[in-house]
Structure 1
Amino acid sequence: MANCGEPETRRDLRVFEDKYELTTDLAEYISQLSESSVNDRGCFTVALSGRSLIRLLEKLSEAPYKKTVDWTKWYVFWADERAVAKNHVDSNYKLTKDVFLSKVSILSNHIFSINDNATVEDAAREYEFTIRQLVKVRTIGVSESNDCPKFDLILLGLGPDGHVASLFPHHPTLELREEWVTYITDSPEPPPERITFALPVINSASNVAIVAIGEENAMAVQLSILTDDGKFDACSLPARLIRPDNGKLVWFLDALAASALNDNNGEPDKL
């Protein structure tokens, strides 16, 4: 069975009046992590996820970030992806390319999309193999606790049902501990076939950011953040299972998404 306990983790809760303020702070947050990782390791490994989240990255392609970020040191992955053609409207890769990647100078061989000509099972297996090769040469770091890849940053959106990446409530993928990348064929949201990072990989990252916008996500935010009373089944809300082992978790919320919380005054926390 899945380990649905909730260990302590370092968490930073940031609440913003609107999407513009959130997007501005998110861009600065990513820029700072990029600079720090490049200085420390010589590169910045980031895994993206989610449709609305991807659109928020467009700010990074504008001044000052377009010129100040060392894009040549970026390595871009997807924490989850839909098993569709790269030019398909549902492709996270296509959306990311259109709104962000095509506007900055990230090297093409540093962008790692899934094989859209393979079956979803084979695509997941190939994607994990690619990540394992990059771990071997230390482009991607390694977690000391479980030998999982240690991405510098994993960016996650939040669904109204509490799902993150393509990890859905009570899905068997929540139980996986050995696989780094897995696949599903029964997503409750279309399209049904997807690849996704497993929980241990997400929780091994140096930094994880969960972004939620809109009132439709308010209840999922509340249940994900508020202290568990010991009776709540965390597997019914995968976002509760995002607890970086030796990393930091940051929540980026607009006022509507945070509206069900009672422990803040709508002001963003600071790093």
Structure 2
Amino acid sequence: MPGKQPNLFAFNDVDALAPALRSYLITCQNAGLTRHEAFKVAVSGGSLPKTLAKALLADPKSAEDTIKFDKWEIFFADERAVPLDHEDSNYGLLKKELLDKIPAELGQPTIHPIDTQYLDDTQELADQYEKLLVNSFAKGDSVKLPIFDLLLLGSGPDGHTCSLFPGHPLLRETDAWVAPIEDSPKPPPRRITLTLPVVTHAVKVAFVATGGGKKEIMKEIFEQGNGLPCALVNEATGERCSWFVDNAAVEGVSFPRRGFL
């Protein structure tokens, strides 16, 4: 692994995890604002938006404990080729769990959903989302990869993250920033996703994984790796990667936990 190993932070439950995640998010936010007066973050779906809401909508405990939503630019680490109000939409899920609940006085983030006029052509859908990233990250310059301030990801029970699945040819994609997938082993089959080089190029990567149903795959990710997408991210990002988990998700996993300061 480059440098050091990923940080594994384990908590008794989600209620204990959320304040630590909030603190981490504020640190990443402030670093992003120092770099370029914006906080560019990509999020995935699953159970992540609900945990994010618990962390981000909590009452601040001090002047420093401030979420500056009006400085946030939220992109999607992956998205399903469905309308934005569809039950499978990651945008729709984030809107329901978090965005609709942000009090007006806290400011509103800038959201970058997919362009739904291209739902019938996943390649074009991916190309258009990549153009959006180019406009945001390149601004006329030639850059090899976009550098997100933070990627907020989950882990599937098979070790997938974003819409990057174990053993899928898409794991070998090195040119595209955003790629289509037509044969996702998890429904719905048609999606777009950030590619592995984009994910591993981020300043910081944070995974949130909770529940006893995750412990077998967590054991495999942290003990064997086996080329699982989550393990590939760990290996490529090292200490830039942090895992926020509950104890149930890492029961029996032999990997050193770190105390969260």
* Pair in the same fold by TM > 0.5: yes
Structure 2 residue runs of 5 or longer lacking an equivalent are none
Superposed, 1:119-130 pairs within 5 Å as 119-130=121-132
Pick which of 241-250 and 55-64 moved more. 241-250
Q: Is residue 2:27 matched to residue 1:32?
A: yes
- Residue matched to 1:43: 38
CA contact (8 A) 2:150 2:206 kept: yes
One-letter amino acid matched to 1:269: G
Establish whether residue 253 from structure 1 lines up as the match of residue 245 from structure 2: yes
State how far apart, in whole Å, the 2-side matches of 1:37 and 1:10 are: 23
Percent of pairs with identical residues: 36
Whole-angstrom CA distance in 1 between matches of 2:114 and 2:229: 23
2: CA distance, partners of 1:42 / 1:10: 30
Q: Which runs of 5+ in 1 are unaligned?
A: 1-5
User: 8 Å contact 2:32–2:38 — kept in the other structure?
Assistant: yes
Which residue is equivalent to 2:114? Answer: 114
Equivalent in the alignment of 2:213: 216
Which residue of the partner structure matches residue 62 of structure 1? Answer: 58
* Structure-1 separation of matches of 2:239 and 2:11: 23
Secondary structure of 1:196's aligned partner: strand
Relative to structure 1, is the Cα distance of residues 246 and 15 closer, same or farther in structure 2, using a 3 angstrom cutoff? closer
The equivalent of 1:3 in structure 2 is none
> Is 1:205 matched up with 2:197?
no
| Runs of 4+ in structure 1 over 4 Å off | 6-10, 105-108, 244-247
Equivalences for residues 83-94 of structure 1 within 5 A: 83-94=81-92
94, 109, 134: which one aligns with 1:96: 94
Question: Alpha-carbon deviation of 1:212?
Answer: 1.1
Q: Aligned to 2:116, what secondary structure does the other structure show?
A: coil
Q: Taking structure 1 as reference, are residues 263 and 245 closer, same or farther at Cα in structure 2, changes over 3 Å only? A: closer
Q: If the length of structure 2 is used for normalisation, what is the TM-score?
A: 0.88
CA distance in 1, matches of 2:117, 2:150: 28
- What is the one-letter code of the residue matched to 2:259? D
Decide which structure has greater helix share.
2
Cα RMSD of the aligned pairs, angstroms, is 2.5
1:91-142 deviation line (CA, Å, top 9, x unaligned): 110111111112335546x21001122122211110001101111239x9x6
